[in-house]
Chain A
Amino acid sequence: MSDNNAQSYWKSNIKIVLALLSVWFFISFGCGILFVDTLDNIRFGGFKLGFWIAQQGSIFVFVALIYIYIYFMDKLDAKYNLETTRLEKSPEGYSLEEDKK
């Protein structure tokens, strides 16, 4: 892979990670902690919304975030023809000394 390609791959990777981490922060620290009392004014079923996000909703969002990440990274790998199945060899054959050669 050329250096240019590697750089643009890495940039897209960073974009995906940052976008997902902002959602992660907004839901957990934002909705679950900082604005929890405001959100508690909204009710659904037996739950106050803020309480529900803090104790359950955020966890569902975390799971979803990892799967969205997997989806976008798979697409990105395909775009750059990065074949990941070739890493099968077990770790012994791969050391710092070899990288230097």
Chain B
Amino acid sequence: MSVQIWTFVFIFLTFGLYIGIAIKSRARSTSEFYVAGSGVPPLANGMATAADWMSAASFISMAGLISFLGRDGTFYLMGWTGGYVLLALLLAPYLRKFGKFTVPDFIGDRYYSKTARLIAVFCAITISFVYVCGQMQGAGIVFSRFLEVDITTGVVIGMAIVFFYAVMGGMKGITYTQVAQYCVLIFAFMVPAIFISILMTGVPIPQIGFGSELTEGFGGGYLLDRLDGMSEELGFATYTEGQRSTQDVFFITAALMFGTAGLPHVIIRFFTVPNVRDARRSAGYALIFIAILYTTAPAVAAFAKTNLINTVNNVEYTSVPEWFTKWEATNLISFNDKNNDGRIQYLGDPEANELEVNRDIMVLANPEIAGLPNWVVALVAAGALAAALSTAAGLLLVISTAVAHDLMKRSFLPAISERQELLYARIAIFIAVIIAGYVGINPPAYVAQVVAYAFGLAAASFFPAIVLGIFNKRMNKQGAITGMLAGFLFTASYIIYFKTLNPSLDNADGWLLGISPEGIGTLGTIVNLASSYIVSRFTPEPPREVQEIVENIRLPGEATER
């Protein structure tokens, strides 16, 4: 069977599965719609969190990014996993004890202020919306490349599926589809990785193959030494050495960690488990499930880079493998014979280099480059879609709860009944899907870049406000509001300044303290913390009942009488 037929089969089967789950888990109350009735077992919540978290970017782009960044790729690896330690130790158990529906709920109640709640709503919607557009785009790209339908059709199919299960099941439907999507995406990521590891090193575990010797067919020697050697020979940076400045890597890693712990769609997953113990456990499960992909990705990056250089460098253009021609058609790889010798020279020097490679190809075309069977190639498409759709659904739910619950019920229309609130939530998802789909089809140039900055914004706004709300009883509304505004505005203006107003200065010399816009969220976090703290010292302490809430969330449950 051809790749295309296999792709159809996989997509048909997986989508059928998602719809089946959605029909089974219809939400009947706002509690089920927002937090799945808080009845999700920790193992299932761990899987759902992992799928929620790992987006199209983790699945499609990350390994490719690492393969071009070399050791510096660590800021994605550590940043996007280390944040879970913060989430598990500083946020998840306490927010579960607090026991509400949304992040603005916590901010609004803890800081006894409608203004604080509205700022939180604004931040949650901005962050989630920016993020969801990238997912829709990712889904569109997968459809168009594997099924050869146009991007618009691809996005519309993706929208219809997400809409169907998000509107019907709310958090309940989303949770159980995400469990299924996790299984699909991890299988789709691991199968090609294991195949390639066996092929290149004879070791079936990619994490170990990463540090093993290549088989005779690939020239022997340790994989990483060989990759370093080839990179130097062709004029690229040494793979296992860093290129970016230490402080920039430091700040980017920290921004991604704080951002991970401050992303509303991840935080609300911990509202869905029955109790505090389960919140701690599901954070543990979530990180294990995420770590399976995240420890494999750097191995895939190294395998793919080595394989790519071996297969195409100095090869005659007329005798390139079939996959090369196929991906050339999508512009993900392009060859320009500058010295007219009919051979492909893949070199570090931009003047002489004849091959442009898009980073996404490292995952999408990896199975083909390694000559794996057609069904493995098709599996990657189903996995990428599972990653994009599961994240999109989680984000859409945040937008809908922010609108229906925080904006309508808790701020402007407190009199509405539960039925009406549920209706508003469904309408909000509907509108959000349409807008996200529209942006997915007509991506403004900056959307893809902005996705990465969602982390900086989450780091600079939510993360400090929530942590202070739990760990500093004296923190009051004046402090928190000043902090969130200062952090968010500082980070947003730094990014906008370098990315749209003054892109010519966007380099290490132009940056403040050598920190790139990707890493500025860390400084934003510090700005937030410092201004919250200072302002709170000069303004009245929070009312006694708010201090009692803080005391209450610090204890996991009631003491039993024995």
- A-to-B contact residues, CB < 8 Å: 1, 5-6, 9-10, 13-14, 17, 20-21, 24, 28-29, 32-34, 36-37, 40, 44-48, 51-52, 54-56, 58-60, 62-63, 65-67, 69-70, 73-74, 77, 80-88, 90-92, 94, 96, 99-100
Contact = CB atoms under 8 A, between A and B. Distances in A.
Contact of B35 (A58, A62, A85, A91): A91
B557 A82 contact: yes
B74 A45 contact: no
A9 B555 contact: yes
A92 B418 CA distance: 11
12 contacts: A45-B211, A47-B224, A54-B77, A55-B71, A58-B74, A65-B89, A66-B88, A69-B89, A84-B277, A87-B274, A91-B38, A99-B545
B277 A51 contact: no
Interface in B209-254: 210-213, 222-225, 240-242, 246, 249-250, 253-254
A10 B554 contact: yes
Nearest to A18: B89
Given A40-B240, A84-B556, 8 more contacts: A5-B559, A13-B554, A17-B90, A59-B295, A69-B88, A90-B35, A96-B549, A100-B545
A24 B557 contact: no
Contact of A88 (B84, B240, B271, B275): B275
Nearest to B77: A55
B74 A54 contact: yes
A66 to B, nearest CB: 4
Contacts of A32: 74, 78, 253
B552 interface: yes
B118 to A, nearest CB: 16
Contacts of A28: 78, 82, 253, 257
A46 B212 contact: yes
B89 A20 contact: yes
Nearest to A56: B295
Interface in B28-78: 30-31, 35, 37-39, 66, 71, 73-74, 77-78
A65 B559 contact: no
B504 interface: no
Contacts of B249: 33
Binding site secondary structure of chain B: helix
Interface stretch (B153-161, B186-194, B278-286, B323-331): B278-286
B276 interface: yes
Given A34-B246, A82-B555, A91-B100, A66 B274 contact: no
Contact of A66 (B39, B77, B85, B556): B85
Contacts of B250: 29, 33-34
Interface residues of B, number: 73
Contacts of B283: 66
Given A55-B74, A67-B284, A88 B274 contact: yes
A5 to B, nearest CB: 8
Nearest to B81: A59
A26 to B, nearest CB: 12
Contacts of B557: 77, 82-87
Nearest to A92: B31
A46 B89 contact: no
Given A21-B89, A28-B253, A55 B73 contact: yes
Contact of A90 (B38, B213, B223, B287): B38
Contact of B207 (A17, A56, A69): A56
Contact of B298 (A17, A56, A66, A94): A56
A59 B294 contact: yes
A84 B288 contact: no
A64 B101 CA distance: 29
B64 to A, nearest CB: 15
Nearest to B297: A55
B560 interface: yes
B101 A91 contact: yes
A73 B557 CA distance: 13
B316 interface: no
Nearest to B112: A96
Contacts of A83: 557-560
A1 B559 contact: yes
B269 to A, nearest CB: 14
B150 interface: no
B284 A66 contact: yes
B148 interface: no
B242 A87 contact: no
Contacts of B88: 66, 69
B255 to A, nearest CB: 12
Contacts of A52: 211
Interface string B84-103: 11001110010011011100
Nearest to A73: B280
Nearest to B277: A84
A52 B562 CA distance: 50
B284 A85 contact: no
B457 to A, nearest CB: 22
Nearest to B239: A51
A45 B77 contact: no
Contacts of A36: 71, 242
